[in-house]
Structure 1
Amino acid sequence: MIPTSWRPVCVALLATCLAAQGASARAGKSQKADKAQPPALTAEAVNAAALAQPGTGKTDGTRPDAKARRDKASDEKPDPLIVKAQVLLDRAHFYPGAIDGRRGDNYRHALSAFAVAQGLSATEALTPELWDKLLATSDKLAVTDYTLTEADTAGPYVQRIPPKMEEQAELKNLGYTNPREMLAERFHMSRDLVSALNPGKPLDKAGTTIAVAAVDPMGLDKPKAKDLPQEPKVDRVEVDKSSRDVRAYGADGKLLAYYPASIGSAEKPAPSGETKVKGVAFDPDYTYNPKYAFKGVKAQQKFTIQSGPNNPVGLVWIDLAIPSYGIHGTPEPEKVGKTESHGCIRLTNWNARDLAAHVTRGAKVSFKDD
């Protein structure tokens, strides 16, 4: 029993202890929150990013709770380490889709495919061993400077791309809508990442120097027929409908490139079995046939949508020996691998151009169901 004279002192001490415990708990939570947040996104942070060694308590965020990560991936802030990893994957031809600094499905699947190609176990985590393999592929900076030219800012740009195909057919061309969209696609980036790396910089002013992913920029020129296919030549293409990816192989069976893809839909599922590549068209027009019966399209007559990166099939059409089916680009690169297509195989424009530049006429195309 506490003497009456000591009770005020004990009460005061108890209050002090509880306050200290509360402050300690809040500090602990704050430290955990700080560890969970990636560093500020700058070109310098991306280029200096390094995977923490095991036992440091730090992580790149690729923990086993994959479902929770997928649910929150779109809300994540871009992580400099992930931006760097995505750039390295892109250069190694294991494309992660639009480089965005987030741990989405496309990034994780590309990471796993790269691991297997390197003789490692399949993993969607950026392990020290896998990170070393990535670093060994290139010693160049992950982010570099680019100065906007007069041609970049002049366009011409389309004021708006209407959502309905019938309305798109009324446009003279399906070009980009602004410099940010063009720059994002040229450097394989999401539009949000372009803005995040260049806060406050005018993207419509020639002479502006911005930070971009240091990848092989996507060109808009049409390769000459005599220059196709380029080395290394793609002799076989595998379309995996369950994992939503496309893999390109050489005649010797070597995996040459990995691309995320949107493949078919419930309305028009992708085919099964095998077929062949009939030919390649760069910067194609798109002709809609009422027989396609796409949802939301009411036209009863054929109509044509002019060429351009915002054309329904993007900048490339790789024709398959199955009527009305092909491998093609897209006006929405950030949705590749995340949404359905109208039965065909949809890649980002830069991936479609890459595959088209290397695939041989008559190349075998196989559709893998499970």
Structure 2
Amino acid sequence: MIIKRVSLAGLAALALAGCKDGGGDAQAKGAQVREADNDPTRAVVAWDRRAARMTPEEMERARLDESWMQVVQLDPITGGRNERPNPEKWEQLSIESVNTAPQHVPLYGDVGGPSVLRIQVMLDRALFSPGIMDGRWGKNTAQALYWFQKREGLPATARADSATFERLRSASGSPAELVVRRTLSAEDVEGPFTKIPEDVYEHAKLDCSCYESLTEKLSEMFHITPDLLAKLNPGVQIDGLRAGQTVNVPAVRDENAAGRGQQVAKLIISGAGTYLHAVDANGRVIYHFPSTLGGKYSPSPTGSYRVTRVTQDPSWHYQPDILVGVPDDEPDAMIPKGPNVAVGTVWMALSEPHFGIHGTAEPQTIGYASSNGCVRLTNWDVEFLSRHIRSNTPVEFRDITGQKQAEDPANAESSGSASARGNSAPSTPAAARPSTGTSSGRSGAASERTSTRREGSTTPSRADTASRSGTTRRERARTDSGARSRPTTTEPAKQEEHAGHPPR
């Protein structure tokens, strides 16, 4: 990907990002940057510009990847005599079908539709996050369900059966409706909405890294892809909605009420398992979040550490001299804070120098792509977590591959001409990438924009330490960002039983 005066599309490669808390290691190149270097709350996220971006096909393979099962113990699957395929289709999703159609079980494999979305919403409400909700079964949903089953003492099969459905409904608060009609407030529709330039230095001139559209904002507020938001609101021009109008959205967890009375004693992070767990003093899982971490250029640490500080709404310090794959002679830049800043909406520094837990501008890659070093969560998950932990909370890393940090090849590249650097790893033109529609659960609008966010060196240079409002950032439904996940060939799944459960 071209780095000099580059397209922001290259920043989608944060899915291969290494993460560092700058701590004064990098030398500032201007007065503004030097001032930021003295800010103890800043963080730096490095990334590999040569990394391949995730194509829609790679995203689909990652969704069905079962490699996470290598670090868990699945219980035997019983039954099968009344095997019957799930007849639902993703195209059947609507507010009516989610709230009134029977629940089909078991659910697993490559399926989608009202029953899948029902499970995803209940998992979100029960604080076993499926990440971005798209109405399709996949790795993040199966993994969240497995750990919920494990905690509840149910057969941990990673498949939604009748007993799991009933227990999950109770844990989610037994809502009368799982998709609701929300009357939009002035705050819900408030901007500003700003087109994010593809050039990183043009981005630095903006007042904020704001949402680009109301669709973007509402999608992140309700933890879903823009594609699913559009599917639940047929014929509605989302970007044209005004205060007082209604929109159909999932009944996501209550950010203010959820998690009351539960004290987080430790965070457990699994590299191979691609998850972060918050556990109590007895080791019981309180919260489960899909995550990305670990990689070649800045591998995640092993062992035990602690959370030292939390920064809300970090800004982004773009520092080429500490970035993987970026020539050192590129100029620094300060990118303003906002939902489209590279590190996301929260930075949680760890006691191990140069590592932390943070959000992302590319939540569709969370749990699917690999990262280097830092722990990335969706913005809504890391925001929730930041409000439910204390300073010095222990953090334990498990299942880390233990790769030795690789040599950064950028300096060799920088000895050549700027043209040679630019041609060394060209980004894929938008027209050459396959588009996605409802068949992949991704937004058509997002496909047109493609992955134009660069998630690179990120420096929270200003910390708004006060609590943020309950409104979370919009999920960015990019179709082709991030890194390649290991594809797993999956046979079409069989459905071993069928049961109808009214959503109630």
What interval of TM-score do these two structures reach, taking the shorter chain for normalisation?
0.7 to 0.9
Query: Is this contact kept in 1: 2:294–2:374, CA < 8 A?
Result: yes
Change (3 A) 1:275 1:289: farther
Structure 2 CA distance, aligned partners of 1:337 and 1:168? 27
2:140 is the counterpart of 1:83 = no
For the residue of structure 2 that corresponds to 1:248, the secondary structure is strand
2:191 maps to what in 1?
155
Deviates more, 1:325-334 or 1:281-290: 281-290
1:283 to 296, 307, 313: 313
> 2:302 aligned with 1:272, yes or no?
yes
Q: After the TM superposition, which parts of structure 1 deviate over 6 Å for at least 4 consecutive aligned residues? A: none
User: Is the 1:161–1:174 Cα contact (8 Å) retained in structure 2?
Assistant: no
Superposition TM-score, scaled by structure 2 size: 0.58
User: What is the Cα deviation at residue 124 of structure 1?
Assistant: 1.7
Q: Which residue of 2 aligns with 1:212?
A: 249
CA distance in 2 between partners of 1:363 and 1:120 (Å) = 29
Matched, 1:196 2:248: no
2:95 corresponds in structure 1 to 43
For 2:191, the aligned partner's letter is G
Select the structure that is richer in helix: 1
1:242-285 Cα distance to aligned partner (Å, 9 max, x none) = 01000001234331100000113222221111211001111111
Q: Which residue of 1 aligns with 2:458?
A: none
Q: Any conservation in 2 of the 1:187–1:218 contact (CA below 8 Å)?
A: no
Structure 2 SS opposite 1:134: helix
CA deviation map 1:82-131 (0-9, x unaligned) = 11111111111100001111111111100111110110222121111111
Q: Structure 2: which amino acid aligns with 1:45?
A: S
In 2, Cα distance between equivalents of 1:46 and 1:38: 11
The residue aligned with 1:253 is 283
Q: Deviations over 1:312-332 (max 9, x none)?
A: 111101111122211011111
Q: How does 1:5-16 map to 2 (within 5 A)?
A: none
Are the counterparts in 1 of residues 151 and 284 from structure 2 also a CA contact under 8 Å? Answer: no
Root mean square deviation, CA, Å: 2.5
Percent identical among aligned pairs is 32
- Structure with larger Rg: 1
Residue 333 (structure 1) shift: 1.3
Contact 1:165/1:297, CA 8 A, preserved across alignment: no
| TM score, norm. by length of structure 1 | 0.77
Mapping 1:314-333, distance limit 5 Å: 314-333=344-363
Closer/same/farther in 2, CA of residues 343 and 167 from structure 1, 3 Å limit:
farther
Equivalent in 78, 97, 121 of residue 131 of structure 2: 97
Report which stretch shifted further, 113-122 or 250-259: 250-259
Which residue of structure 1 lines up, in the alignment, with residue 149 of structure 2? 115
More strand by share: 1
Distance in 2 of aligned mates of 1:305 and 1:299: 18
Give the structure, 1 or 2, with the largest relative contact order (CA under 8 Å, sep 6 or more). Answer: 2
Distance 1:97 1:367 in 2: 20
1:351 aligns with 2:385: no
1:106 lines up with 2:136 in the alignment? no
* Aligned CA distance change for structure 1 residues 357 and 151 (closer, same or farther; 3 Å): closer
- Do the aligned partners of residues 352 and 198 (structure 1) sit closer, same or farther apart at CA in structure 2, a change above 3 Å counting? same
Query: 1:93 is aligned with what amino acid?
Result: L
The amino acid of 2:194's aligned partner reads V
- What secondary structure sits across from 2:387 in the alignment? helix
Task: Render the CA deviation track for 1:6-42: whole Å, top value 9, x for unaligned.
Answer: xxxxxxxxxxxxxxxxxxxxxxxxxx99936357211
Unaligned runs of 5+ in 2: 1-83, 401-504
- Residues 313 and 285 of structure 1, relative CA distance in 2, 3 Å threshold: same
Residues paired across the two proteins, number: 311
